Amino acid sequence: MSQQHFWNEKFSRQGYLYGKKPNAFIESCSHLFNREKAFLCLGEGEGRNAIFFAKKGFDVMALDASDIALKKLQEFASFESVQVKTKCIDLNEWEPIKKYGSIVASYLHMHKCDRDGLFSKIEDALEKSGYFIGEFFSTKQLNYSSGGPKDIDLLYTVEDFLNRFSNCKKHVVEEILTHLDEGRGHQGKASVIRVVLQKN
């Protein structure tokens, strides 16, 4: 099953699967981002992070494999009277053509074998001193029913980040328990990995 087919099935349901509020951890890092720099949301889905930052005056680009999700993102953006650029693409096929001051991601489903490629592209796409900030389900999320994949190959460890991003300062790479309240898709106690990386 292609990424587009998988995510279109999820996002074709009525409403916003992960709600309309931004990811709480990414929102808590808002003070680190520079409005004068381009802002990129990876695997953005229906737009909860993208719309939040567009409303704050950022120039936002959102990438996602689901055309259905991106259509809902644009409806959300129109309702909020903001603009967000979008591109429908599998992140394995994404090739950065510009630099971004900020890149964010919440709960990317990326197979272990594909992480070297994607993380290298993220690092290359960051401007000097730019930030990559994200929250990801850890391998321990298999113990919880708050959301996320049940395939350990799609879950993360802190080593996934510590052993990569050699050109970034690792301000935060931690595994914690948190409580998710993100639409009907993410509810309850969850084991997550949070990262705050800054390009050298």
State the residue for tokens 């994404």.
Answer: 94
Distance, CA of 162 to CA of 147 (rounded, Å): 25
Domain boundaries, the chain: 3-199
Dump the DSSP string for 79-91. HTT---EEEE--T
DSSP lists the bridge partners of residue 86 as 62
Reported as a pLDDT band with limits 50, 70 and 90, residue 8 is low
Token digits of residue 83: 């603009």
Give the predicted TM-score (pTM) of the model: 0.94
The SS3 of residue 103 is strand
Determine phi and psi for 169, rounding to 5 degrees: -80, 130
pLDDT of residue 1: 59
Among the listed residues 35, 29, 31, the one whose alpha carbon sits nearest the alpha carbon of residue 54 = 35
The arrangement of secondary structure in 3-199, i.e. its CATH architecture, is 3-Layer(aba) Sandwich (3.40)
